[in-house]
Structure 1
Amino acid sequence: MGGIDPLAIYALWERDLRRFVRARSRLVGTFVTPLFLVAFLGFGFQGVRFASVPEEVTYLEYLVPGILGFVTLFSASFSGLAVLSDREVGFLKEILVAPVPRTSVVLGRIAGGATTGLLQSGLVLSGTLLVGFRPVSLSGLLLAALFLVGLSTAFIGFGLALAARFRDTQGYSLVVNFVLFPLAFLSGAFYPLSNLPAAVRWVGYLNPLTYGIDGLRGALVGSGATTYPLWVDAAVVAFAATVTVLVGAWLFDRVEAA
């Protein structure tokens, strides 16, 4: 698995970016669906107050970072799906038999997925401006971008690890949806974890998405909207990204070219 080929990483990154830009339906879906969620939930639950959330934080401000984490989570799953699609058309075999280190293939996939995930989140964030959301500062936007890249990397690594164990897109999609929806609803994206029963709440505390979304709230809304210190959020996201990427790379290194 050793060795890095910058040219191979760049080529895979550029390919993923081109595929994203050319997929018009994916662009529209990325922008419209989360914006509908923000509009309907944000206005529908306008005035709702949670005991663990300061009164000055509106539900819209609470919701938008959660939606961004939600988008990032499902965007990252496309990376594993893309690997399986490439296997079906024969492109993956061409990559695996090429004189390119497997590490570079994994890093190229992660770079492409993280970039497209950041673009998707940027589209959604720009759309939330239409419904009244305002980031607290420019520096907060930059910090939010770092959290989004960290979350994308963590779940892309998870997606690659799963894709390395599957040979068809149907099985992968079933398992991913079975895992991702509980992760999304046990992350505090739509409501505080403190509202859940204690036994379920502890599952949420083990969920890296919980800390990514909390960090996004701190970056976009302010420290008053967070549950944990920002350094804790950043450390958990970085740790999760490191572990999933290493596991994904290790499993991907054992994928057969045939």
Structure 2
Amino acid sequence: MILRPTLSLARREMVRFFRQPERVVGSLAQPLLMWALLGAGFAPSFRAPGMEQLSYIEYFYPGVLLMLMLFAGIFSTITLIEDRAQGLMQGVLASPAPRITIVLGKVTGGIGVALFQAVPLLLAAPFIGITLTASGVIWILFGFLVACLGFTALGFLIAWNMESTSGFHAIMSVFLMPMWMLSGALFPLDPSTGWLWTLMIVNPVTHALTLIRAPLYQAPGVFLTDPHYWTALTIAAAWAGLCLLLALWRVNRLERGAPPPPR
């Protein structure tokens, strides 16, 4: 009863993505342009303690992968507003399918779109000096899964009560993007920055980035024995799980007589 409608909604997200060429190009072009431009601009002055051997292009690479997860989560949930405006969401709510299939379908579709974009970008790793192993790729994909789950579920929570896509973009600009920027994607953690370092430490996206970055530079036998990795995994998984549970709770409130979402 849950699996079939969930897969149907997820498939619809994938089909919609491929039928919008401008969305495919935009979601891939923006992270790549930022990677190229920021990498070229900051490369001469990038000096991070303990990372002297890394170029900025190589340091920024995990952040670009994380940005793809962010955009996949955003665009897969912004369609929630469009579906409501077009009447599709009302039809889904009136169907016998459980309400949680809306959340699970959107999240699954967002993860599928994210993997389609991010996996090909992994092919660029050898060209910037990163050697990938089969086991490393598996752990990177696991990091993708946790990060995209968190972004998509959080985006769902925001989009569920939004009345317009312009309002959602405003929230994205002042909330979701800063979470990415303060994750260590643009610059490394530095305790000397004071309050900024504190924000980065409590930011769950910082720990999601660790799940992607660690397998790029270390063998699983190394980072799996590092307590910092397990701390990052615990925090990132808790963030993703909490956002998903809140999204499921928010949708299930309709079954207990709560007012429908605004049209």
What is the TM-score normalised by the length of structure 2?
0.87
Moved more, 168-177 or 132-141: 132-141
2:21 maps to amino acid: R
- One of 154, 158, 164 as aligned partner of 2:150: 154
Q: Which residue of 1 aligns with 2:251?
A: 252
Deviation at 1:131, TM superposition (A): 5.4
Q: Which residue of 2 aligns with 1:92?
A: 89
Q: Considering only aligned residues, what root-mean-square deviation do their CA atoms show, in Å?
A: 2.4
| Structure 2 portions without partners, runs of 5+ | 255-259
Which consecutive segments of 4 or more residues in structure 1 shift more than 4 A? none
Q: Distance in 2 between matches of 1:200 and 1:236?
A: 19
2:23 maps to amino acid: R
Q: Which residue of 2 aligns with 1:19?
A: 16
Q: Quick check: 2:43–2:55 contact (8 Å CA) kept in 1? A: yes
2:216 is the alignment partner of 1:220: yes
Q: Quick check: 1:193–1:204 contact (8 Å CA) kept in 2? A: yes
Q: Which has the higher contact order (CA 8 A, sep 6+)?
A: 1
Q: Distance in 2 between matches of 1:17 and 1:189?
A: 27
Moved more, 238-247 or 195-204: 195-204
1:239 maps to amino acid: A
Map 1:130-209 to 2 at 5 A: 132-194=128-190, 197-209=193-205
Please identify which structure carries the higher helix content. Answer: 2
| Structure 1 portions without partners, runs of 5+ | none
Q: Distance in 2 between matches of 1:105 and 1:90?
A: 14
Aligned pairs, how many? 253
1:175 maps to amino acid: I
2:219 is the alignment partner of 1:232: no
Q: Which residue of 2 aligns with 1:105?
A: 102
Q: Distance in 2 between matches of 1:112 and 1:196?
A: 40
Deviation at 1:183, TM superposition (A): 0.8
Q: Distance in 2 between matches of 1:196 and 1:76?
A: 32
Deviation at 1:216, TM superposition (A): 1.1
Q: Quick check: 2:42–2:56 contact (8 Å CA) kept in 1? A: yes
What is the TM-score normalised by the length of structure 1?
0.89
Q: Quick check: 1:61–1:221 contact (8 Å CA) kept in 2? A: no
Q: Distance in 2 between matches of 1:221 and 1:42?
A: 19
Deviation at 1:19, TM superposition (A): 1.0
Identical counterparts, % of pairs: 27
2:127 is the alignment partner of 1:116: no
Q: Distance in 2 between matches of 1:59 and 1:21?
A: 32
Deviation at 1:22, TM superposition (A): 1.6
